[in-house]
Chains A and B, each alone.
Chain A
Amino acid sequence: MSIFVDEKTRVVVQGITGRDGSFHTRQMMAYGTRVVAGVTPGKGGRAFEGPGGAVVPVFDTVAEAVARTGADASVVYVPPAFAASAIMEAADARIPFVVCVTEGIPVLDMTRAHALARDRGSRVLGPNCPGIICPGKTTLGIIPGRIVAPGPVGLISRSGTLTYEAVHHLTRAGLGQTACVGIGGDPLIGTSFVDCLEAFAADPGTEAVVMIGEIGGTAEQKAAAWAGENLDIPVVGFIAGRTAPPGKRMGHAGAIISGSAGTAEEKTRAFEENGIRVALRPSEISALVADALGR
């Protein structure tokens, strides 16, 4: 099974003609994602060439793309100055699921974009995230398709390449995935660990969950408490940033220990108190999952 999206999801790509947008659209299409439309303001009427001679119509606005193609999910590859507007445009066109890959969006822009998305009933994944891949079904974003495989594990992470590292180990250990979700490294993200845990809990195909957190904020603590109370399937955790000094932003805008809050110790403790086994190195994650699944 999968969460949030599946092989029927009809995707519009915002920023499809840009450097990153065009590259990753082709990658997504090659994986099997149904990309039905692209949007670049001012380039409506053009055709985008996908792999194998596939052609995707380009529209000026998301609303036109939805009206003409029935798109029901969007992926935003728009530069930071315009990305919040792009998210708002998608929400305003009533797209129910919006993935925003863009890194570096002003936080105050995102306060407004998230507020509108909530009002319009749109779920935003990200920003500053690698997206979601449901192995064998679809991918929205930039997660490399060749490192995943279908199977029973759900994975949630605030990071990109660290996710790849963990998934790579899982796949090589024969532990495929229902979905791998990168929720994003920004302080304000639209889809939380808890949102993903709820979705995995409702997915009969998911038998175990991996949560990859990092320093900053309290999202991991909340997720641990939620899992402890509500989740019947095992969870394995990993927290990045045990050696990060306080007060320094570690790459991700959200990865900063403020005062004494948001440390790796605090998050690890919250995981362990709620029955989540914590791997000390990325390579241990797959062994803990195998153990939890009795394999």
Chain B
Amino acid sequence: MNLHEYQAKELFRAAGMAVNPGEVAGDARAVRRIAERWDGKVVVKAQVHSGGRGKAGGVRLARTAGEAESSAEAILGMEINGLAVERVLVSPLEEIASEAYAGVLVDRDSQCPVLMVSAEGGVDIEEVARDNPDAIHRLHVDPRYGLMPHQAFGLAGKLFRDPAQRRQGARIIAQLYQVFVENGASMAEINPLIATAAGEVLAIDAKVSLDDNELFRRPALAALRDPGSEDEAERKAREKGLSFVRLEGNVGCCVNGAGLAMATMDLVKHCGGEPANFLDIGGSSNPDKVVAALEIITADPAVRVILFNIFGGITRCDDVARGIVEATRRIEIEAPIVIRLTGTNERLAREILADAGFAAGTSMDEVVQEAVRLAG
């Protein structure tokens, strides 16, 4: 789950980090009032879950409160990568002497948190990694001991020559790691971490992603989820315990297991069709989950056919069959339903489906081809 910049900065401040001040607003008049506090010399930043905010025009500098208001008017209501901007963060302009980068994430290979710093901040770090990999310094942190003070100080030395700035930088790097661990993050990043003209080291941007698997034990963080930033169908799926991703096509897919669900989408495409979604109904699927899945799929007006692909292991085919029958009773489904099921309790499932007038195939290839044909 991604946090907005202003939310991430709150976590940083709670850890005692030196972060530039700022206030969030949802309308341009309020932005003007906030900007007046800083003589109108502010930066207005779109709060939206997307990279490339600057390139999209979602970050603007103002020299007067009036400019701040018109900047906010331009940004609020704009769309960045398909996401509507509903809030902006207003912060005083800082005089920047240098820009660095500091980030931490979990590295798959070493299976440890890895801290990354670079003196080349303020730019896309993936570009730095590609064009000038030596400019990025990495440190693997043993999760049992955490980040040790000398390690943070060592990293800060890659960013700042001035001894006072190096100490401040080390403190911020340590606080970044603390935020990462204590909030169950999968990524935390400061880009840029600046030295001001006055010599102060300051985080003026913040990016934090939380590990979805941590949210069950962190209700305060789970409550930070921005419902407006989430696709309606994806929100509903999440609440029902289904894994769902919306795609562009017209073949609605309902599958058990993530790998098989991906393979089903791929096969739809391979056969000349376009999948409308990724949907994994999970392992021990009860009929209610299947009903919820069908509600979500049929809510997409683009869907021309619904494809079930079930390989029963823990999932019992009869549970899925009951769900399909129950769903067709509860909701109006116009699109034809094509079903493949095999595995646990397959025969019982076929009987349940046959009683309700459905047929089911056993071959994934044949059923996907049929679905693609029906989708036209």
Contacts and interface: CB of A to CB of B under 8 A. Distances in A.
Nearest to B143: A111
Given A112-B143, A282-B364, A160 B262 contact: no
Contact of A240 (B184, B259, B275): B259
B344 A80 contact: no
A214 B216 contact: no
Contacts of A280: 270
Contact of A214 (B113, B262, B283, B314): B262
A160 B257 contact: yes
A50 interface: no
B199 to A, nearest CB: 34
B156 interface: no
Interface size class of B (residues with CB under 8 A): 35 or more
Interface in B219-253: 243, 245, 247
A165 B184 contact: no
A159 B181 contact: no
A255 B365 CA distance: 23
Interface string B249-280: 00000011111111101111110000100101
Given A282-B364, A283-B364, A162 B257 contact: yes
Interface SS of chain B: helix, strand, loop or mixed?
A: mixed
Of B211, B265, B314, B363, chain A has the most CB atoms within 10 Å of the CB of B314
A118 B311 CA distance: 35
Interface of B: 106, 108-109, 111-113, 126, 142-144, 181, 184, 186, 211-214, 216-217, 243, 245, 247, 255-263, 265-270, 275, 278, 280, 283-284, 311-315, 342-344, 363-365
Nearest to A188: B111
Contact of A159 (B257, B343, B344): B257
A214 B259 contact: yes
A67 interface: no
Interface in A212-248: 212, 214-215, 217-219, 238, 240-245, 248
> When A and B form their complex, which 7 residue pairs have the shortest distance between CB atoms, in order from nearest?
A159-B259, A251-B258, A161-B257, A162-B259, A240-B262, A111-B143, A161-B260
B313 A165 contact: no
Given A160-B313, A240-B266, A253-B213, A111 B258 contact: no
B265 A188 contact: no
Contacts of A185: 258-259
A113 B328 CA distance: 45
A41 B343 CA distance: 34
A281 B365 contact: yes
A115 B143 contact: yes
B278 A251 contact: yes
9 contacts: A106-B214, A160-B283, A164-B311, A241-B266, A243-B265, A245-B247, A249-B245, A254-B108, A282-B263
Nearest to B259: A159
Given A115-B142, A187-B106, A283-B364, A81 B126 contact: no
A142 B311 CA distance: 13
B257 A107 contact: no
Contacts of A245: 245, 247
Contacts of B213: 80, 104-107, 253
Interface in A155-178: 157-165, 168
B278 A283 contact: no
A114 interface: yes
A15 to B, nearest CB: 15
A105 B256 CA distance: 20
Nearest to B261: A251
Contact of B112 (A111, A161, A241): A111
A114 B111 contact: yes
A252 B108 contact: no
Of B106, B262, B311, B344, chain A has the most CB atoms within 10 Å of the CB of B262
Contacts of A249: 212, 243, 245
A144 B343 contact: yes
Given A130-B313, A142-B314, A161-B260, A112 B265 contact: no
A108 B113 CA distance: 8
Given A164-B343, A281-B263, 16 more contacts: A80-B216, A106-B213, A106-B214, A157-B259, A159-B259, A161-B256, A161-B259, A165-B311, A217-B108, A243-B247, A243-B275, A244-B278, A251-B243, A251-B259, A252-B258, A280-B270
A165 B262 contact: no
Contacts of B256: 161
Of B111, B245, B283, B363, chain A has the most CB atoms within 10 Å of the CB of B111
Given A165-B260, A215-B262, A110 B111 contact: yes
Contacts of B270: 280-281
A20 B284 CA distance: 9
A266 B284 CA distance: 33
Interface string A68-88: 000000000000110000000
Of A106, A143, A158, chain B has the most CB atoms within 10 Å of the CB of A106
Given A244-B262, A250-B245, A108 B257 contact: no
Contacts of A252: 258-259
A142 B257 CA distance: 13
B314 A255 contact: no
Contacts of A159: 257-260
B212 to A, nearest CB: 8
A144 B365 contact: no
Contacts of A215: 262
A281 B267 contact: yes
A112 B247 contact: no
A37 to B, nearest CB: 23
A16 to B, nearest CB: 17
A106 B211 contact: yes
A137 B83 CA distance: 54
